[in-house]
Chain A
């Protein structure tokens, strides 16, 4: 659930900057060593740490000395797995797993959402002790853990047999060369989520292309200078980058190793920036924080006609809806080329096994059960978890697509989001996303304040990211 991380990450990141800053320091060392090994082809063995290989076979020898955890009714002979996640309601799935797998005992801990989890996780990984066996890691952060060799390759534990069960974008995110570093769980195909009564009031139908979208945004604002078609949350780098992916303007290329491409200033990127800057200049879109109480209120009261949302976003929005219950509809994203069907993803999480695990086989078994079984999905797709599946049997089941929600009346928003789930352009994240998100929030904040244009911010960001990547030892191309 990714982006449940996205919002907390943004708020928390600043609180935790003091501690988080240190995490970056180690990248350099890790990077230089991985640069060496990855030149050998990035095969499955590069990431299999000695410890996991050595203990992989002897599962039931449970070591003592672990801190006292609320282990429930686990027997002492079972393998003890520590699991970190912040998805609400996850304990239901853990209990189900424990009751059906007597030889494994999973203990759920929730040290925090987003950065709240990553900081203690990074500390424990660095200390060489205290890390969980399995933890929730968002798609965009996964390469940061891969490059530091903290993850167990799941291929020896049978991960590849699940490949066909997942949306192609999700599987590409967790695999690198021949290795699979995590099991994908949920994600957030994006769409245009709108209030049909508000739009009808302004005689607007969901736009099919971004050109129509821009025209509609101007039309609406001209009719009511206090209202906007959507909010443009430029200071949320995740949202921004995901929108760039749909525009064919993805700014990073990274496939492991020491080579990295950063491109915020190419023609596609500048075209994307110019499109939104024009709408900002015309005041045809608002610019406030996304997923904020303010945004929810403005959506609910009709100040905003809709939002470029992900599949999970309505579950964030729903509790704040008072006036517009039943009026919400989902439509496919507007397209840059008329007639195309390009989607994009916002957020989502994976469940990697960490190389500190003393029971990698059981940890992998749990991760695979959690993400790739009907049993697990029957639980985690329901509130309060409300995960949107990368797992195709659930994603494509007619019962899932036909789900209705009070805020969207009798409409079936999952029909739209499920369709978008299979047309997501492949994206690769730089292995220092924490820094990208922190720096991005600052740099793009200037756009929201009107102090810079989006093009200027992209140019500044190009320089900032290039300088940072070089300081971390990467060979940067543009």
Chain B
């Protein structure tokens, strides 16, 4: 038996043991003071809700393999031949009818989300730390103004925004998409709260007494402690830009610059309208491809999120 195989066997063994320990440690439901019937009812509700939420995803996965006529003509929750997944997938890389290429839109979405999300996180971390740990003249007012930004829906300012953008040549420019995506008031609010709860003032004061510069305190002491909160903000801001529809819809008329949301919105208009194009399979598969990176991102980053919640609530 090779070392690798042995290794994996012991690892599996260890995991099994851990799971047993976990099960023994789990608190029996009776101890929560809930009756078994109540638990069953609540569980049923949860299962139904999970089904309700997952059914559309399952539908998308199944129907991404179908032809247009089968999408409408066959049973929605089972497969139908011919299996068209790869053919449709190849079409995602082709320019359909001069509207642009899905692959191109996808890369645009990645660019906008990553640069906007990272930028938003940097600003939120800096701003949140500043507002949480520094008192300066007008800090409360500034913070209130930033939070007020939460209350203005973008649809309300769509036309003023467009007119302002036109003045500074941000229409049909990637910067017109990236710069506003870097401003996420919720992120700043979250970071401020997080810093207040997870970085004791005493810690910073101690560092100051030891002669550390403010920059050093921020980078070496505060920042590592802020990572769980930072990941949450990163996740939220990347997902927010990933799903943004209204802003790119307003500022882009050049199909080459569309993100996936606007590009697929265009396809869905055409799919309902021009009978000659087979756009529904592309819409279904395109939707599936679009959600995969978000699911992956959540799966990867959610442990930070959980860590963050624990850090705030449990005293070690």
Contact = CB atoms under 8 A, between A and B. Distances in A.
Interface of A: 4-5, 7-8, 11-12, 18-19, 22, 65, 67, 69-70, 84, 86-91, 94, 108-114, 116, 119-120, 123-124, 126-130, 132, 291, 293, 297, 315-320, 322, 383-384, 386
B269 A124 contact: no
Contacts of A69: 254, 256
Interface of B: 68-69, 72-73, 97-100, 155-156, 158-159, 162-163, 165-167, 169, 171-173, 246, 249-250, 252-256, 265-266, 269-270, 272-278
Given A91-B98, A130-B166, A316-B273, A22 B256 contact: no
Most chain-A Cβ atoms within 10 A of its Cβ — which of B171, B172, B173, B275?
Answer: B275
A124 B98 contact: no
Contacts of B265: 112, 116
A120 B253 CA distance: 7
Given A90-B98, A384-B276, A128 B269 contact: no
Given A70-B256, A130-B253, A315-B275, A123 B269 contact: no
B158 A110 contact: no
Contact of B97 (A65, A88, A291, A293): A88
A5 B256 CA distance: 23
Contacts of A7: 272-273
A120 B247 CA distance: 11
Given A70-B256, A110-B99, A111-B255, 5 more contacts: A108-B98, A111-B252, A119-B249, A123-B158, A130-B166
Contacts of A12: 269
Nearest to A128: B166
Contact of B158 (A18, A65, A87): A18
A108 to B, nearest CB: 6
A130 B171 contact: yes
A128 B166 CA distance: 8
Contact of A109 (B69, B255, B273): B255
A113 to B, nearest CB: 4
Contacts of B162: 123-124, 126-127
B59 to A, nearest CB: 16
B162 to A, nearest CB: 4
A380 B113 CA distance: 38
A318 B253 contact: no
B98 A126 contact: no
A22 B99 CA distance: 27
12 contacts: A8-B269, A8-B270, A18-B155, A84-B253, A88-B277, A109-B253, A123-B159, A123-B163, A123-B250, A130-B171, A132-B253, A384-B97
A69 B97 CA distance: 17
A386 B276 contact: yes
Contacts of B171: 67, 124, 127, 129-130
A19 B154 CA distance: 10
Given A12-B269, A109-B255, A127 B166 contact: yes
A175 B94 CA distance: 40
A69 B173 CA distance: 11
The 7 closest A-B pairs by CB, nearest first: A91-B98, A127-B166, A384-B276, A18-B155, A316-B275, A113-B269, A67-B172
A119 B253 CA distance: 10
B155 A19 contact: yes
Nearest to B278: A319
A89 B254 CA distance: 17
Contact of B272 (A8, A65, A318): A8
A318 B277 CA distance: 11
B177 to A, nearest CB: 13
B277 A19 contact: no
A103 B255 CA distance: 24
Contacts of A8: 269-270, 272-273
B276 A88 contact: yes
Contact of A110 (B167, B266, B276): B266
Contacts of A315: 275-276
A124 B69 contact: no
Contacts of A293: 72
Given A22-B159, A123-B162, A110 B255 contact: yes
A7 B273 CA distance: 6
A383 B162 CA distance: 36
Contact of B275 (A70, A111, A320, A322): A320
A90 to B, nearest CB: 7
A459 B255 CA distance: 43
Most chain-B Cβ atoms within 10 A of its Cβ — which of A11, A12, A88?
Answer: A88
Given A67-B172, A129-B166, A384 B159 contact: no
A116 B256 contact: no
A127 B163 contact: yes
A132 B255 CA distance: 13
B277 to A, nearest CB: 6
Contact of B253 (A87, A124, A384): A124
A370 B100 CA distance: 22
